Amino acid sequence: MAKIYLLNSQKYEGIENLEVFQIEFLKKNIDLTKYDALIFTSKNAIYSLDSSNKDWKDVPSYAIAPKTASIIKSLGGKISFIGNSGHGNDFAYELIPLLKDKKALYIKALKTVSDLPKILKENDIFVDEVITYKTSCKESNKVLEDNSIFIFTSPSTIECFFKQYSWKDSYKAIVIGKTTAKYLPKDVNYEISLETSVDECIKLAKQNFFKLNFNHN
């Protein structure tokens, strides 16, 4: 029976998790008193920093999107700004006027896909970078159903999926954003979510699921 597969561990009703990667937090000894701003572009950046240094809550946080901001708030952090675009490069341009005369720290993964720090530096913004987590592929032994939909939420999910599975013509991909979409093989049939949130990806996947499976019945 066809399914909607979400390639991370977040739980949603009627959605099957296909966990093809794992997150490892990296302990870092960071002097956060040197900074006036913390830049977060993912939930794992927040959780990984929180696991090793609770002082981050005293520094104003700049969050790429409302979902990221809600996690910062839930952990007791201080929100200074919430981005509108959801894309790393666009977020960088939103930050430029806000970070003049500030010292910022970008909390990031070992592998990142945006040019956020480069854009900030080119516009005379002081920004340091610290790697607080990394992703690695994880073996999955699930047999995938024909006519299924796969939700890719990062380039890592794409990389790890295609290390283990072959793409079938009956499949469809839903992708969280333009940057992630660039990492898909050229023969993959996909649609990009209007907003960079998993909730929006789920909505789009459910709409497509009905169409895809109705046409095959």
Catalogue all structural domains in the chain, each as residue range(s) with its CATH number: 4-20+138-215 (3.40.50.10090), 23-135 (3.40.50.10090)
Give the separation between CA 93 and CA 123, rounded to whole angstroms: 9
- Two tokens at 85? 């675009």
CB 68, CB 197: distance < 8 Å: no
Distant-in-sequence, close-in-space partners of 210: CB < 8 Å, separation ≥ 6: none
Which pLDDT value is given to residue 213? 62
Which pLDDT value is given to residue 215? 59
Specify the DSSP element, H or E, that contains 92: helix 88-95
Q: Enter the pTM of the model.
A: 0.78
Confidence label for 216 from pLDDT (cuts 50, 70 and 90):
low
3-state secondary structure (DSSP) of residue 65: coil
Tens digits of residue pLDDT in 72-126: 999 999 999 999 877 788 999 999 999 999 999 999 999 887 899 999 999 999 9
